[in-house]
Amino acid sequence: MKMIDVSKTLATDEQCLAYLEASRWPAGVRCTVCGAKEVSRITRKSKSKNVRAQLYQCLEKTCKTQFSATSGTIFHDSHLPLPKWFTAIALIVDAKKGKSALELSRNLGCNYRTAWYLSHRIREAMNEPDGLKLTGTVEIDETYIRGKQKGHKRKKLKDVVLGIRQRGGPLKLVQVKDNKAGTLYEQIEKHVDTNADHIMTDDAGWYNFRLTKFRNVPHSKIRHSAKEYVRGEVHTNTVENSFSLLKRAVIGTYHQLSIKHLQRYLNEFSYRFNRREDADMFEQTVSRMAGIKAMPYQKLVEQNAFTPFVRPQ
């Protein structure tokens, strides 16, 4: 669904709630606590304009929970109307280079803090599951992103970003503390299938897999130190092209990123990049957000880099 469609078909709380219900419960409404199918709709008062007043009640004798389509989701207890949520989702998934909080605040007519908090909650839904392993021919390289960090206003800080790209397949970008072999290998083991067909890197010393789980996977190195960039099928150009797109987004949209929250921006870029041919990216994102619980603002601002937000159970 494109932005123009969202503005036409999801313009009211009622329309958005119906869409969210269909996304969350495609096979019919279920209790959010016990999962029972036997539920009844509670008719809200005619004067009530509160979306959360559109309730269901579980008919299971041992449950009797009252709930709505937003219960237990990232939308729950949000003061922002659902149409603005859905508009923000559409704007972010449609923006090839991302959408800054400043620009989003202008689009939605809200203050900067609201737009910033909103965009980070949407990015939380763009985090790919750790179980996804790249296979086939896998290119690995690292790059550096200039960021900002509180207390270092005059320093030009650069953070290491590890890029892993499956040729003809997904991209994974990971913020890492340094480019030491152990640090990089930990992430490579996490995101690359040990049965991959071929691993390709440059000739940096930290890419040495002889004593790792990948010792049986063919590993070819392109000799960047000798100004070699392609040798037959051996190159890291695919992942490097992804870095170029990422840096254009950083410079053109955000100018600089907070190191503290860099991984969420990387997740957003990878998510959109991996689905660039998908016509239903908006639908996928709403469905993911319906499965994510609330992210308190205070927890978000207190979070440190490399310490991911733990979603409440």
- pLDDT tens digit sequence for 9-63: 999 999 999 999 999 999 999 999 999 999 999 876 655 555 455 899 999 999 9
Q: pLDDT grade, residue 154 (50/70/90)?
A: very low
Beta-sheet pairing, 157-166 with 137-148: antiparallel
Q: What is the pLDDT of residue 207?
A: 86
State residue 187's pLDDT score.
93
Express each pLDDT in 266-280 by its tens digit. Answer: 999 999 999 999 999
Domain boundaries, the chain: 137-271
Is 64 within 8 Å of 28 (Cβ atoms)? no
Mean pLDDT of 236-241: 96
Name every residue whose Cβ is closer than 8 Å to that of residue 116 and which is 6 or more positions away in sequence: 101
Is residue 309 over pLDDT 50? no
Mean pLDDT within 275-300: 90
Please state, rounded to an integer, the average pLDDT across all residues of the chain: 87
Q: How high is the pLDDT of residue 232? A: 94
Q: How confident is the model at residue 313 (pLDDT cuts 50, 70, 90)?
A: very low
CATH 3.40.50.1000 fits 137-271, yes or no: no
**pLDDT tens per residue across span 84-106:** 999 999 999 999 889 999 999 99
Q: For residues 275-293, give the mean pLDDT.
A: 92
Could you give the CA distance from residue 45 to residue 33 in angstroms, rounded to a whole number?
25
Q: Taking residues 150-168, what's their average pLDDT?
A: 75
Whole-model pTM: value is 0.86
The strand pairing partners of 161, in sequence order, are 143, 175
The pLDDT of residue 215: 85
